[in-house]
Structure 1
């Protein structure tokens, strides 16, 4: 058994996954647009170029994403959960945190804590909440 987070973006899944690939050492393993799916004729023109399904290999796991359910309705942003990156070196934790914070919202600045050499929380510009941790 395996668990994969599946994120719903409001139209910027391709941009988000490209950003994660460039900056987090991830790899886009799959990306299908609604126009390429079997039900393309049932999707409005505003959704044809949006992402139906994408997979990103990141930190030994797979993050999945979509721009919606194909109905053109806005999707809720991620709440009540954070994606966690455990990083070996404090300098790398700080670098990743700064990248994710650019255009986003810092919830807790990255700093040393009683449990970690570095820890911080941020919601990136795509609305995805992250925790960066260095044991």
Structure 2
């Protein structure tokens, strides 16, 4: 069965926020990827000010849950950043087949923001907004 986790977006202060959450909630980051770590960053047209920002961070919460986050580039993409809708529900599937099933089902009559496919950071990943306006990410990490 897939795991469901909150995925928070910030406007450049993800690292500060997650260090705060870590100080309160405990634990250690199990993954921290900066935009400059994408191979190659130019392929993704990452603006210079974002290269040192957080593309993905994961802080375990208890046995099977995580708090996930990133520095959103919404303004760069021509979208408005609004606190309150700055999150996704992240689903971590147990297989590519489960990820495809969940992604296809949730995106029906919705909007695919990023097609599900193998990513340069090693996961099978996609983003969508369902027909009710809820934002989702679906991934499968073969290394977990």
Query: TM-score, with normalisation over the residues of structure 1?
Result: 0.51
Partner of 2:130: none
- Answer yes or no: is the 8 Å Cα contact 1:27–1:58 preserved in 2: no
- In structure 1, runs of 5+ residues without a counterpart are 82-135
1:32 and 2:38 correspond: no
Report the RMSD for the aligned CA atoms in angstroms: 2.5
1:78 and 2:79 correspond: no
CA distance in 1, matches of 2:86, 2:39: 33
1:63 and 2:67 correspond: yes
CA distance in 1, matches of 2:74, 2:37: 12
CA distance in 2, matches of 1:48, 1:71: 15
For the pair shown, the structure with the greater C-alpha radius of gyration is: 1
- In structure 2, runs of 5+ residues without a counterpart are 88-144
Shift, 1:63, TM fit: 0.9
How many pairs align?
Answer: 81
CA distance in 2, matches of 1:62, 1:21: 11
- Answer yes or no: is the 8 Å Cα contact 1:34–1:48 preserved in 2: yes
- Answer yes or no: is the 8 Å Cα contact 1:11–1:68 preserved in 2: yes
- Answer yes or no: is the 8 Å Cα contact 1:52–1:70 preserved in 2: no
